[in-house]
Structure 1
Amino acid sequence: MAQDAAQALLDEALQAIEQRQWPLALASLHKALALASDDAALHINLAFVLDGMGDLPTALEHLCNALDLAPDLPEVHLHLGTVLARLGSIDMAEQAYRQAIQRVPDMVAAWCNLGSLLDHTHRGAEAEACLQPDNPHARFNLACLLLREGRLQEGWQAWEQRQWPIHHAHDWRCPRWRGEPLQGKNILVVQDAGFGDMLQFSRFIPLLQTRGATHTAVLCQPPLHPLMAQLPGVHAVYRWQEADVALTTRHWDYWVPVMSLAAYLGSEAAPYGPTPPYFAPGAPPTHANLRIGIVWQGNPDFPHDAQRSIADDSVLAPLLAVPGTQWINLHKDKQPTLPQLHAVDGGLRDFADTAAVLAGLDLVVSVDTAVAHLAGALGVPCWLMLPAYMTDWRWMRERSDTPWYPSLQLFRQVSAGDWTSVVAQLMARLQAPDAAQAIRSLRRPQTSA
């Protein structure tokens, strides 16, 4: 009887998990465990829920319980690897994935996760061998690997196979654009990922008009709306909540996810698209001291935010104490503990406000967030602080520069989690005799649209 009741509760939990109703699933699984504490499947599913709720240490405890109960169950090793990787225990995560593969040699999820881990630990050839492109997740990870290595033609082809929820969010009422002629056509460009992705790939939007598009509109999240309206070649901008209005206000010949534009508008001469700035940066600053804006944390809801963000802002204290510098807090709603940081007058409501502030700065120092993309899109100098593990594909491998943004310079962790070494690199650059001149020389001049 107890086992039957536990199974019924597990069924309830699985339904809640499918709908991402974490608290409901958690409650059902706790009740089930009270009836059947030796059921490995209950511990595995509870770990999955706890992972979804951000409680990785407790998730790890339940996976260890499942491992004790069912050491030969491949799913235990697979989920154990996922949690260990998210906790930063990379070697142990790799071992867990390999244990899963040892038990089920054709376990696609384990190969996919192992390939991603190897890619993020700079073992590209080994990673590529793991990622067989007959699985959607493997194709996505393979696309990231190829783009990271600058193999754009192969990378965009794999990238185009992605099917994200946003792509199915509406009845678009027209075909998805995949490079067809645009002469006399109306096309709707849709934000399909984060703010930074939209800022990065919006460089390609003006090219739609040069290809002959009669009317180009953009559908994006509200904080981007005022900025997107400034982009050359854009005739209308709609907020995401206005999608129904956008889709009925005009006949559209095509719609296209913004991140797909590179696959069809990048050329052999300009594979990374038009050179920034593609938003007007405004006049450069003229003050004596270096005015520097800083961003030290990203969106906590991003799956890999723990790797890219600086949790303890006191690590930045020596940097902010460098003479001849004035530091501006570019976070919209985060109050720092460091007194050297000045708030933005009037606050920041959206990315147009942030762009106006960036235009008056000599330099932006940022972790991998949308503000760094905005600085690059404006041609404003930016020093980008990058993690050693889970570095995003667009920053490639080992480079200190990026073909996406000539005004950016990249500073990478020496080892995972070590922001102190990055701060030391920045301090050395700021304290160099020609620091101000070198920084200001990175600013990109505005070119005609």
Structure 2
Amino acid sequence: MIDIESELRQGIERQQAGDMAQAVGHYKAVLSAEPNNVDALNLMSVVASSLGDFNTAASLAYTAIAEQGDWFLSHLNFGNALMGLGRPAEAVDAYQKAVTLNPQSPEAYVNLSDALVQSNRPAEAADMAVQAIIIKPEMADAHVNFGNALLALDSPGEAVEAYIRASMIDPENALAWMNLGNAYIKLGVIDPAVDAYRRAIALSDGPIKRLNLGSALYGAGRLAEAAQAYRDCLALDPKFLDAHINLGAVLRDMGALDEAEATVRAALALAPDEPELHWNLALVLLTKGDYSQGWQEYEWRWQTPHFARFVREFHQPEWQGEPLEGRSILIHAEQGYGDALEMARYIPLLFDKGAAVTLECRQGLGRLFSTLHPDLTVIEVGDGPLPRCDFHLPMMSLPLAFGTTLETIPAKVPYLSVPKGAASFADLADRPGPRIGAVWSGSAGRRDNQPRSFRPHDLMDLVDAPIYSLQKGDVAATASDLFDHGLMVDLGPRLEDFADTAAAIAAMDLIITADTAVAHLAGALGKPVWILLPYPSSAFLWMSQRTDTPWYPTARLFRQTSPGDWSGVIAEVHQALAPGLLA
């Protein structure tokens, strides 16, 4: 006859010492004598969960519940096992039963909060975390879970407060530091996020922490440090695809194109059908000017999460270079205005092949694109049904369909012109020159707009004449003081669409612009255009290090040498204008 109490006590001692095998031996001895001993079943469930055997843990806890359904600890353990099995919705039910049976258990409320967050019920999760805090204010995990719920409720500022409180209670709580970093990222506060991730890593290293650190550093423009963080992540988990994807991207931005390509290709050996890797490879190859492979890889975009939501279904087949004589084709809009302006050069080539062409474009481009060819049918998105054609093709697939290489880019300009009925800028002809048109910011909705934008004030003193603003949108107001003092002339209110903008560009001697649609429009019109590029530049079109582009013969590129530093770029522009180029 064994001593049940003694066996349980010894099992608990061995479990607390980390000797799980010996602990299990004691619990099994108890269960051999009393198969339905609830204490042994629960303790065995805890051991099984700690070892990652959640199926066994769930079975043991469920047996304990069947034996004594009013014991809250059995429901708590059952919920923990279900969470380990990735079944949070079921875990919620188990934890709610535990809370009902023991309303004073902070652990039950904390675990219920976690399950509710993972079940996409953050408001309830916040309430449960608060209950745990009321019962046990110095419970760090309760504050962590409160922060998690707040973060899920899109309240990152309040989440930061919760995580800071947790880290003050328990400075060695790695999860508090990790999630604090996540909250800072959501607030757009990068440097504190980096510090928080480093604290979390120092306490408990792991691939996810290294990945998040790398992403924070990447967002701060600290590319070399980001690359190292991703390498450290891969040292911990060589098969972590997100780290491979991000490392390839940051190496491309650093201009280490050969290393970026090698990194992505090595990752593709592990996951040959991963769309994000193919997408990264496309960007690397296109940036290198390897168009023969790059445009093929670019077709993987439709399988990435970002582009998959834009996939459209057409009854007609996608054109892949078949003869078009006497046949019809629909070219349809995708991506941004600049992409459309760049790819519009291919439309006349379709007519050269004998096709009847319909072009769908974004609102504001229709009048301008009517100048591509007299027989072109142009339909702006949302302005009516699209005709049935023999073929269709998204605009950014045109280079592949035409077999475009770096040497065969159709770069003859102008391929666009100012349409009849566009705004007139004849009143500018009598004004003293040179006439320089400027755009300093693109669409505010683009996530990379801030680093690619500069200040309108940076352009002052370039010439002894007012500069003409072609800037549209709310950002034009950043130059309001320049407008008031006559240092810049605001043409924005006169620009209803891209046809009007084309007319304004035609009245200029030079366009100076950020990487925006106006850069493409000026290039397509054959107007001298100086394009100021950030470091790193995410646009593969501009390639790497070049001061020219094979896409626009009249364009000149001015590049940052470090993130956020426009001073060197502006100085280079000053120097380029100094000889009186436009006098």
TM-score, with structure 2 as normaliser: 0.65
If asked which structure has higher relative contact order (CA below 8 Å, sep 6+), I would say 1
Q: Which residue of 1 aligns with 2:349?
A: 207
Q: Please tell me whether residue 349 in structure 1 is matched to residue 496 in structure 2.
A: yes
Change (3 A) 1:10 1:125: same
- 1:70-81 equivalences in 2 (<5 Å): 70=204, 72-81=205-214
Q: Which residue of 2 aligns with 1:418?
A: 565
Q: Please tell me whether residue 301 in structure 1 is matched to residue 445 in structure 2.
A: yes
User: Contact 2:333–2:395 at 8 Å: present in 1 too?
Assistant: yes
Change (3 A) 1:10 1:61: farther
Q: Please tell me whether residue 67 in structure 1 is matched to residue 213 in structure 2.
A: no
The structural deviation recorded for 1:374 is 0.6
C-alpha distance in structure 1 between counterparts of 2:434 and 2:538, whole Å = 28
C-alpha distance in structure 2 between counterparts of 1:117 and 1:261, whole Å = 28
Q: Which residue of 1 aligns with 2:436?
A: 292
Equivalent of 2:254, from 99, 105, 121? 121
More off after superposition, 352-361 vs 384-393: 384-393
Equivalent of 1:261, from 380, 398, 416? 398
The structural deviation recorded for 1:424 is 0.6
Q: Please tell me whether residue 7 in structure 1 is matched to residue 154 in structure 2.
A: no
More off after superposition, 195-204 vs 274-283: 274-283
Change (3 A) 1:45 1:199: farther
Equivalent of 2:324, from 166, 173, 182? 182
C-alpha distance in structure 2 between counterparts of 1:58 and 1:13, whole Å = 27
Identity %: 33
Query: Which segments of 5 or more consecutive residues in structure 1 lack a partner in the other structure?
Result: 17-21, 438-449
Equivalent of 1:384, from 531, 553, 577? 531
Q: Which residue of 2 aligns with 1:280?
A: 417
More off after superposition, 101-110 vs 359-368: 101-110
Change (3 A) 1:123 1:189: same
Q: Which residue of 2 aligns with 1:231?
A: 372
The structural deviation recorded for 1:193 is 0.9
Q: Please tell me whether residue 246 in structure 1 is matched to residue 392 in structure 2.
A: no
C-alpha distance in structure 2 between counterparts of 1:397 and 1:269, whole Å = 14
* Amino acid aligned to 2:449: D
Change (3 A) 1:345 1:56: closer
Q: Which residue of 1 aligns with 2:47?
A: none
C-alpha distance in structure 1 between counterparts of 2:286 and 2:406, whole Å = 17
* Amino acid aligned to 1:7: D
Equivalent of 1:217, from 352, 358, 362? 358
SS for the counterpart of 1:328 is: strand
C-alpha distance in structure 2 between counterparts of 1:24 and 1:11, whole Å = 9
C-alpha distance in structure 2 between counterparts of 1:425 and 1:269, whole Å = 27
The structural deviation recorded for 1:218 is 1.9
SS for the counterpart of 2:283 is: helix
C-alpha distance in structure 2 between counterparts of 1:268 and 1:92, whole Å = 34
Change (3 A) 1:59 1:5: farther
C-alpha distance in structure 1 between counterparts of 2:493 and 2:450, whole Å = 30
User: Contact 1:205–1:234 at 8 Å: present in 2 too?
Assistant: no
SS for the counterpart of 2:359 is: strand
Q: Which residue of 2 aligns with 1:368?
A: 515
The structural deviation recorded for 1:201 is 0.8
User: Contact 2:151–2:159 at 8 Å: present in 1 too?
Assistant: no
Higher Cα Rg: structure 1 or 2?
2
TM-score, with structure 1 as normaliser: 0.83
User: Contact 1:291–1:327 at 8 Å: present in 2 too?
Assistant: yes
Change (3 A) 1:268 1:116: closer
Q: Which residue of 1 aligns with 2:472?
A: 332
Equivalent of 1:191, from 333, 337, 341? 333
More off after superposition, 7-16 vs 396-405: 7-16
Change (3 A) 1:332 1:268: closer
The structural deviation recorded for 1:238 is 2.3
Query: Which segments of 5 or more consecutive residues in structure 2 lack a partner in the other structure?
Result: 1-107, 124-149, 420-424
Q: How many residues align?
A: 421
User: Contact 2:301–2:307 at 8 Å: present in 1 too?
Assistant: no
C-alpha distance in structure 1 between counterparts of 2:555 and 2:282, whole Å = 23
Change (3 A) 1:236 1:93: same
The structural deviation recorded for 1:47 is 5.5
C-alpha distance in structure 1 between counterparts of 2:451 and 2:194, whole Å = 18
C-alpha distance in structure 1 between counterparts of 2:545 and 2:184, whole Å = 34
C-alpha distance in structure 1 between counterparts of 2:413 and 2:446, whole Å = 26
Equivalent of 1:165, from 307, 324, 328? 307
* Amino acid aligned to 1:320: M
Q: Which residue of 2 aligns with 1:137?
A: 276
**Partner deviation per Cα, 1:15-46 (whole Å, 9 max, x = no partner):** 99xxxxx9854249949967987886787677
User: Contact 1:363–1:381 at 8 Å: present in 2 too?
Assistant: yes
**Partner deviation per Cα, 1:145-173 (whole Å, 9 max, x = no partner):** 11112111111111122215367443322
Give me the CA root mean square deviation: 3.3
- 1:103-118 equivalences in 2 (<5 Å): 103-118=236-251
* Amino acid aligned to 2:253: H
C-alpha distance in structure 2 between counterparts of 1:82 and 1:272, whole Å = 35
User: Contact 2:295–2:400 at 8 Å: present in 1 too?
Assistant: yes
C-alpha distance in structure 2 between counterparts of 1:52 and 1:228, whole Å = 40
The structural deviation recorded for 1:327 is 0.3
